[in-house]
Structure 1
């Protein structure tokens, strides 16, 4: 028999639950986590429910009583909101129970309203008194006398009926009874786990750059940067408001079959003399100089890297390091553990392919050959960089490695270091992306880059908000691999449009360096690869000169990150809500934060070429307002203020400012509806 037939009362559709409880749901410290369930019973007696929310290492006995409330419009749907205050594996269970106090109150009120007298209500009055006796037996001294007095009044036949029931139905006592109910036929679900991460798992602004491109240009020729020269770039990144500095692999790069500029392969398969621009791909990891636990000697030493990490922290940021589990042909693994790779019939080791693309400079690891040895080595490498100060790993192509390996690795690390985070760079099929999130990845790259029309942006945003209990998106506007055609041909306004969408829609977003300089030229028509890709060559940039000449988007990115930090609503995912606009070129959405009663409204012109006008039809209830109410909005980008209501006229010129980012001032205290997946 499937399921639990012993459940006395009905409890179904509990959320958040991932894969029927096989994997943990996710939240972060301080996040409002909605727990919902469908609860019902036979007959007409009242049913109620509560959540048992248990902290890591604690047991149910010490958990607070969290009563659930009805969640309209479904008559049997219930909700409670919990807020974790520490990292680690929390658990919750839902308890459904018969609520005799509510059943009694409803019956008495209906019968009195129908004109029934004390004789007809004699049994009801005694039943109510007995229920109050049970409450009084458990009540504290401050309430015991009041509950006892209400029970005595119900039994006092010398008083009129309304006088007898008044104490028991008084609002103050009813509130106490709501918080201290009589529970009968208690029915419990199994416990479900919620792993709670630190807040950076949900909210942050990422900046990707290549330290090797931060060397000086000497006589018009770029020189290889070091961790020291790259450290000089950190204050400018911090000034733009970024929280995470993401570095591509920093390890020695293979010489065998090394790729040259614009991905051209040098002839032959043996090591050869490398020119000043022929630095190879950082993802072709390993050479005679070391493998995944080594630092590229031109970048510096391990101590230099640790100093770079320390400097990043001094500036209020942290380092995310690439974890790419593959090897160059001259990686030490190839010599020491050839069994970790796939050998072809001719005896050679298979290099990476994604037909028609060939990556002769990379050998994929075969995780089915000696899994015990491979697992142990990868864990050693990860802990090596953790010891060097890294607490975030951006994982390259995790969808090409076994799911059970990632599940083991992530939770083996989190067992001792729950603050370590893993970002999945998995631009692949939806099923695999979602399963990587379910099994433990903290964040995921997404399809955001390819969502440009309003309908597809709204649909994707709703999907991500609905799966926020296990999948947290990271909206990168560009990457070293992805220069979307909208940026190639949309001009500077499109760079603003994409930045606003990413920074305002997703709690976590990121840019790859060069975005702020409007870099937009592809290697060839129809390609998303940059011309002179930084993956294969040094790419120094004149940051200060571009900003001084007004050719930099850095001030705009700085402002977006300032707005994100100032508004807790923008640090949420579950509350993303889209509002109708009568022009398909205009996108309108809001985000809210229940703790601070903060709300932000964003309207974006999706066209970088044309001015568009339209009228909103705001869902006022999503903002905690009645349909007729007015409120004030202030554009955080321009400083302009407006009086708004449900219907509002808009005109956005992309060459002046393609978006409004409105902070909302409410005319009264508001309570936002709970976010429900």
Structure 2
């Protein structure tokens, strides 16, 4: 119940402060797009970002009244996540260069690494000169483009030495056309009326859809997932197009993985049911859309906060971790860059992804001001250079790690 309210006028907008005896002060910042631009022009980016983020944070954070969900590893409570595209990371495009860079990622305050698919990829119907990372030909092999199994193990071991954790992309929805299963287990695949294999999406012509009604497929996929945890010590998975695979499979896989080692699971999807048994974290795609609306002046800051409150209070369970980002490999390759999307508002909205409930994620190169869309099927290097974005990201990741109110899932409050 609202018991006190005061308003302070600002140019082209206003701030409302509400005080509730049970929850304490709550700041609701109603900001029109012109006020947004007005303040951007007059305050240093980090100062404005901090003010803006904390103002919204008041409407979003609730008391930590529920114990953390049992499957959530303790280390995940205050980490940020860094996505690695090995192919575009360095001229060599190999694991060794990523391993050498790990201390710099750690220095920014990031403890969780997500590596895009590391597996051998198909040649049949390949797109571009190098093919898609997500066209898997062998779930238990390493893509020789990136190095050897020993090279990958050295990367994981080095991360663990630094107190970091590694999850890898898992592509369970489809395989390459030349995966051995097409010959040994054709029943693992979806087919059309003529009995031919089919892509999961019309434009995904380099891959074919798997059939999760088949129990043998489920067991084979789980066996492969267990392999990387057991043999290489990976700490979990980012599961590609997770909503296209039955949730029942993810629940089954998670139960099996728990028998091998504690893992952390990220779903590329937004189903609330994912958080019941299978996944600690899911993509906050809708939040990205709301941020774009804010930047375009289609909603004000209170509209963004209201949407967040709906997600946190009504849609998702308390323990759910939502992954927050301004970009990722999909957005960068197929949509636009951070600069094109957000312009001078990027620093403000970046801070918001750290203040909102959830785990902040950055894509490799953002700390170097990545300002181009990297090609997906061909070599296209990140331009590594000194950039002010690194200092901003370092301050934000360390800010989140130090402040328990900003921690992930049920650990925050």
Q: Same fold (TM over 0.5)?
A: yes
Q: Which runs of 5+ in 2 are unaligned?
A: 1-62, 295-300
Q: Partners in 2 of 1:82 and 1:442 — Cα distance?
A: 15
Correspondence for 2:207? 362
Q: 1:461 to 1:574 in 2, by over 3 A?
A: farther
Q: Partners in 2 of 1:81 and 1:196 — Cα distance?
A: 18
Q: How many residues align?
A: 336
Q: Partners in 1 of 2:203 and 2:66 — Cα distance?
A: 50
RMSD, aligned CA: 2.5
Indicate conservation of the 8 Å contact 1:201/1:443, yes or no.
no
Correspondence for 1:337? 185
SS at structure 2 position matched to 1:232: helix
Q: Partners in 2 of 1:459 and 1:443 — Cα distance?
A: 21
CA drift at 1:485? 6.3
Indicate conservation of the 8 Å contact 1:426/1:445, yes or no.
yes
SS at structure 2 position matched to 1:509: strand
Q: 1:490 to 1:255 in 2, by over 3 A?
A: closer
- Which one of 257, 260, 264 corresponds to residue 413 of structure 1? 257
Q: Partners in 2 of 1:422 and 1:364 — Cα distance?
A: 22
Correspondence for 1:259? 127
SS at structure 1 position matched to 2:237: strand
Indicate conservation of the 8 Å contact 1:465/1:573, yes or no.
no
Indicate conservation of the 8 Å contact 1:252/1:294, yes or no.
yes
Task: State the structure with more CA Rg.
Answer: 1
- Which one of 187, 197, 207 corresponds to residue 349 of structure 1? 197
- Which one of 222, 225, 243 corresponds to residue 379 of structure 1? 222
CA drift at 1:81? 5.1
- Which one of 387, 395, 409 corresponds to residue 559 of structure 1? 395
| Deviation >6 Å, runs of 4+ | none
TM-superposition CA deviations, 1:324-372 (whole Å, max 9, x none): 112100112222211111222334211121xxx511111111111x32x
- Which one of 390, 394, 398 corresponds to residue 238 of structure 2? 394
Correspondence for 1:403? 247
Q: Partners in 1 of 2:219 and 2:312 — Cα distance?
A: 36
Indicate conservation of the 8 Å contact 2:118/2:142, yes or no.
yes
> How does the TM-score come out when normalised to structure 1?
0.47
Q: 1:558 to 1:347 in 2, by over 3 A?
A: same
> How does the TM-score come out when normalised to structure 2?
0.75
CA drift at 1:500? 0.4
Q: Partners in 2 of 1:237 and 1:80 — Cα distance?
A: 29
CA drift at 1:438? 2.5
TM-superposition CA deviations, 1:257-288 (whole Å, max 9, x none): 1111xxxxxxxxxxxxxxxxx111100111xx
Q: 1:211 to 1:302 in 2, by over 3 A?
A: same
Question: 1:629-668 maps to which residues of 2 (within 5 A)?
Answer: none
Higher relative contact order (Cα pairs below 8 Å, separated by 6+ residues): 2
Q: Partners in 2 of 1:472 and 1:391 — Cα distance?
A: 17
Correspondence for 1:324? 171
Indicate conservation of the 8 Å contact 2:66/2:410, yes or no.
no
Q: Partners in 1 of 2:225 and 2:154 — Cα distance?
A: 19
The answer to whether 1:539 aligns with 2:398 is no
CA drift at 1:501? 0.8
Q: Partners in 1 of 2:79 and 2:64 — Cα distance?
A: 27
The answer to whether 1:424 aligns with 2:292 is no
Q: Which runs of 5+ in 1 are unaligned?
A: 1-78, 85-193, 217-223, 261-277, 428-432, 522-529, 576-591, 594-677
Q: Select the structure that is richer in strand.
A: 1
CA drift at 1:298? 2.2
Correspondence for 1:438? 276
Question: 1:240-259 maps to which residues of 2 (within 5 A)?
Answer: 240-259=108-127
Indicate conservation of the 8 Å contact 2:67/2:410, yes or no.
no
